[in-house]
Chains A and B, each alone.
Chain A
Amino acid sequence: MEKITTHTGIGVPLRQSNVDTDQIIPAVYLKRITRTGFEDALFAEWRKDENFILNREPYTRASVLVAGPDFGTGSSREHAVWALKDFGFKAVLSSRFADIFRGNSGKQGLVAAQLAQDDIELIWKVLDNEPGAEVTVDLQARTAVCGSVTAPFQIDDYTRWRLLEGLDDIGLTLRHKEDITAFEEKRPAYKPTTLPALLQG
């Protein structure tokens, strides 16, 4: 997982509350066997409308989603975070996230920054007045900056640390590689291995 300390990119205002994971990525896309390439699936239903904001320039290049409250509710599918990341998003700003979505984001390197709704509204205003304006998400300082607006955001210490260090779940565990190796050395000799394959006569 990539380390993130600060990110600056085009902000896109998504003036919607309760964006659930079924909207973020509809269930039909869950049949795929890949883990990347979900950019076409992001907001697939909404994007059928050519006026939907993500279909318009310069937002096709946006990387900071500034959404309404209660973002990411509904099914726990990790695909929702994959789709956002594959599209190019590095951060989502909202005044309230669904817990599971927030958890999945932190594990997979997407910043879910919680701002006050008033600050979200201020950023929306800047983005409306200056389409294509950039938002800077500073994880060190825990602030989001857009035009003249500088707003603090909340993110829990543990998730922030993981993002700053670029540690996914596996990366975290692999920090204890020596412990794992030490454990392996003590395993009883009779424990089975699948290789070489032993078969019945």
Chain B
Amino acid sequence: MGKTLAEKVWDSHIVRKGEVVGSEAQPDLLYIDLHLVHEVTSPQAFEGLRLAGRPLRRPDLTIATEDHNTPTLDIDKPIADLTSRTQIETLRTNCREFGVRLHSLGDAEQGIVHVVGPQLGLTQPGLTVVCGDSHTSTHGAFGALAIGIGTSEVEHVMATQTLSLKPFRTMGITVEGTLKPGVTSKDIILAIIAKIGTGGGQGYVLEFRGSAIRSLSMEARMTICNMSIEAGARAGMVAPDDITFDYLKGRPHAPQGAEWDAAVVDWRSLRTDDDAVFDAEVFLDADDLEPFVTWGTNPGQGVSLSQSVPAPEDFADENDRAACERALDYMALAPRTPMKDIRVDTVFLGSCTNSRIEDLRIAADIIRGREKDPAIRMMVVPGSARVRLEAETEGLDQVFKDFGAEWRFAGCSMCLGMNPDQLAPGERCASTSNRNFEGRQGKGGRTHLVSPVVAAATAVRGTLSSPSDLDPVPPVGTLRPSVTAPTATTAV
């Protein structure tokens, strides 16, 4: 019988097969190709090494960035919050001591760890990638097996470059068809989570496949894999193809010359065999999809933008009904309110889900020449300093500034509000991030998860909107002078 993509990557990394003790198989010992590190989950791991007198086995397979705690304004000033500053300073000391490459605040390659890896070409097909962060699943877009781990596992990888793991089950998620204009990969993944639930992927590695997935850019695939975790899955993957190779080619750490050719030959074999069997399968039709938004307090509580807020009685299951009631209360929403009537205060364009150059281009294209709803605060936070630079080269920063949005420095920012970028209690936000949990973006803050397309349109109208709800752009000269930005479509 053939193998799935996940099984192939797994099998090629087994250092030691787990012995069967009694009736229970011990975990396999897997080799880790790339370890990404940031300031929040690493300090105790580094200290553990120090206490045990152990070296970091492979500094050359480890890379660190500062992202969760970093400010997005005044990055040249000392960080005001003491805990944040200590975490950052500890990372700097640790990286120096253990010889880890670190991209600090102010560095051109600093940024959200899941944006930086792919952008440097370090994330490649067939790798095992780990990081002390649940959204490590992002890297699965390249056909890597990428999993989030806890602090003691971080230390284990540092000391041994391996991880003991029990095999996962596999789930194939096939998305066929063509997306309508204005519908994005964010809508695909939100629809999948709404369909299978936030626990639907538990114990599985998801593989996204089908014609709709194949036609997506790498950025869009990363958005999907990023949110696999929100369906409870350990990881999400997409088989690599020419789109993957085109994205990687020429990036700083991509193989070159003969090595590139050898790599591509190997990478092409990284696909699920035709006769392989998934442990579970899900199918979705891309043709019917509409922009998808959440109304509740978990990523599974979402509907199409053209629909209304559900009522508790819509749910047959008692727990779902109670969850709905609680969510509506927290979100201050009445059942049956059309989603498009919901007014928001803040629009956040950022996070490792949607802060790549393509996300910024898509949003900029929608707002170019339009006016922001004056009551809306819009924050644009590029995923990395490199993305910010790229956007500035293309003139996107000017588009956002002309529109009245705040153009910030790179980091996790309002995705989790560990830095000063937070919602005020009761504030409502259309956010391109991945978690709408109670208080996630600030105590009492209310989050609607949306795509960059919906985020941009919402900033124009002030209520949750898609571009099709917007009036045509006024002709040049009737409003403020329109910005002529180059419409670059290829990544550096």
A, B in one complex: yes
- Measured between beta carbons, the chain B residues less than 8 angstroms from A197 are 101
Q: How far is the CA of A158 from the CA of B260 in the complex (A)?
A: 46
Cβ-defined partner of A35 (8 Å) among B47, B108, B121, B255: B47
Q: How far is the CA of A183 from the CA of B162 in the complex (A)?
A: 11
Cβ-defined partner of A190 (8 Å) among B86, B120, B263: B263
The answer to whether A189 touches B259 (Cβ under 8 A) is yes
The answer to whether B252 touches A199 (Cβ under 8 A) is yes
Pick the interface stretch among A4-12, A117-125, A173-181.
A173-181
**8 A-B pairs, CB-CB below 8 angstroms?**
A180-B160, A180-B162, A183-B31, A188-B266, A192-B33, A192-B127, A194-B62, A198-B120
- Measured between beta carbons, the chain A residues less than 8 angstroms from B62 are 194
Cβ-defined partner of B124 (8 Å) among A78, A168, A192, A198: A192
The answer to whether B15 touches A170 (Cβ under 8 A) is no
Cβ-defined partner of A188 (8 Å) among B101, B252, B263: B263
B59 at the interface (CB under 8 A from A): yes
The answer to whether A34 touches B44 (Cβ under 8 A) is yes
Q: In angstroms, how far is the closest chain B Cβ from the Cβ of A121?
A: 33
The answer to whether A192 touches B253 (Cβ under 8 A) is yes
A36-B47, A180-B162 known; 15 other A-B pairs, CB under 8 Å?
A: A34-B47, A35-B48, A35-B51, A170-B52, A170-B155, A174-B160, A189-B262, A191-B124, A192-B127, A192-B255, A194-B60, A194-B63, A195-B59, A200-B252, A200-B492
Q: In angstroms, how far is the closest chain B Cβ from the Cβ of A143?
A: 25
- Measured between beta carbons, the chain B residues less than 8 angstroms from A192 are 33-34, 121-122, 124, 127, 253-255
Q: In angstroms, how far is the closest chain A Cβ from the Cβ of B117?
A: 10
The answer to whether B262 touches A195 (Cβ under 8 A) is no
Q: How far is the CA of A190 from the CA of B261 in the complex (A)?
A: 10
The answer to whether B262 touches A36 (Cβ under 8 A) is no
A169 at the interface (CB under 8 A from B): yes
B156 at the interface (CB under 8 A from A): yes
Name which residue of chain A comes closest to B153, CB basis: A169
Cβ-defined partner of B29 (8 Å) among A78, A107, A176: A176
A56 at the interface (CB under 8 A from B): no
B298 at the interface (CB under 8 A from A): no
Q: How far is the CA of A179 from the CA of B266 in the complex (A)?
A: 23
- Max chain A Cβ within 10 angstroms of own Cβ: one of B29, B62, B83, B109: B29
A31 at the interface (CB under 8 A from B): yes
A51 at the interface (CB under 8 A from B): no
The answer to whether A183 touches B15 (Cβ under 8 A) is yes
Q: How far is the CA of A183 from the CA of B52 in the complex (A)?
A: 24
Q: In angstroms, how far is the closest chain A Cβ from the Cβ of B197?
A: 23
Q: How far is the CA of A107 from the CA of B152 in the complex (A)?
A: 10
- Residues of B within 8 A of A (CB-CB), count: 52
Across the A-B interface, the 5 shortest Cβ-Cβ residue pairs: A33-B43, A198-B252, A190-B255, A190-B259, A195-B60
Interface residues on chain A, size class: 20 to 34
By DSSP majority rule, is chain A's interface helix, strand, loop, or mixed?
loop
The answer to whether A180 touches B161 (Cβ under 8 A) is yes
Interface residues of A (CB under 8 A from B): 1, 31, 33-36, 78, 107, 158, 168-170, 173-174, 176, 179-180, 183-184, 187-195, 197-200
The answer to whether A173 touches B164 (Cβ under 8 A) is yes
The answer to whether B15 touches A36 (Cβ under 8 A) is no
- Measured between beta carbons, the chain B residues less than 8 angstroms from A176 are 15-16, 29
Q: How far is the CA of A198 from the CA of B127 in the complex (A)?
A: 19
Interface residues of B (CB under 8 A from A): 15-16, 21, 29, 31, 33-34, 43-44, 47-48, 51-52, 54, 59-63, 83, 86-87, 90, 101, 108-109, 120-122, 124, 127, 151-152, 155-156, 159-162, 164, 251-255, 259-260, 262-263, 266, 386, 492
- Measured between beta carbons, the chain B residues less than 8 angstroms from A169 are 152, 156, 164
Name which residue of chain B comes closest to A33, CB basis: B43
- Measured between beta carbons, the chain A residues less than 8 angstroms from B16 are 176, 179
The answer to whether A193 touches B160 (Cβ under 8 A) is no
- Measured between beta carbons, the chain B residues less than 8 angstroms from A199 are 108-109, 120, 252
Name which residue of chain A comes closest to B123, CB basis: A192
- Measured between beta carbons, the chain B residues less than 8 angstroms from A168 are 52
Name which residue of chain A comes closest to B26, CB basis: A158
- Max chain B Cβ within 10 angstroms of own Cβ: one of A158, A176, A192: A192
Decide yes or no: A33 and B161 within 8 Å by CB, A198-B253, A200-B492 being known contacts.
Answer: no
Q: In angstroms, how far is the closest chain B Cβ from the Cβ of A64?
A: 23
- Measured between beta carbons, the chain B residues less than 8 angstroms from A187 are 31, 33
Q: How far is the CA of A1 from the CA of B251 in the complex (A)?
A: 43
Name which residue of chain B comes closest to A34, CB basis: B47
- Measured between beta carbons, the chain B residues less than 8 angstroms from A173 are 29, 156, 159-160, 162, 164
- Measured between beta carbons, the chain B residues less than 8 angstroms from A183 are 15, 31
Name which residue of chain A comes closest to B152, CB basis: A78
- Max chain B Cβ within 10 angstroms of own Cβ: one of A193, A194, A197, A199: A194
Q: In angstroms, how far is the closest chain B Cβ from the Cβ of A28?
A: 11
Decide yes or no: A194 and B263 within 8 Å by CB, A33-B44, A34-B47, A169-B156 being known contacts.
Answer: no
- Measured between beta carbons, the chain A residues less than 8 angstroms from B159 are 170, 173-174
- Max chain A Cβ within 10 angstroms of own Cβ: one of B83, B86, B156: B156
Name which residue of chain A comes closest to B103, CB basis: A197
Cβ-defined partner of A170 (8 Å) among B44, B63, B90, B160: B160
The answer to whether A194 touches B43 (Cβ under 8 A) is no
Q: In angstroms, how far is the closest chain A Cβ from the Cβ of B482?
A: 31
Q: How far is the CA of A198 from the CA of B253 in the complex (A)?
A: 6
Q: How far is the CA of A177 from the CA of B412 in the complex (A)?
A: 37
- Measured between beta carbons, the chain A residues less than 8 angstroms from B259 are 189-190
Q: In angstroms, how far is the closest chain A Cβ from the Cβ of B297?
A: 21
Q: How far is the CA of A104 from the CA of B51 in the complex (A)?
A: 18
Name which residue of chain A comes closest to B267, CB basis: A190
- Measured between beta carbons, the chain B residues less than 8 angstroms from A35 are 44, 47-48, 51
Name which residue of chain A comes closest to B49, CB basis: A170
Q: In angstroms, how far is the closest chain B Cβ from the Cβ of A95?
A: 25
Q: How far is the CA of A158 from the CA of B27 in the complex (A)?
A: 14
Q: How far is the CA of A86 from the CA of B151 in the complex (A)?
A: 19
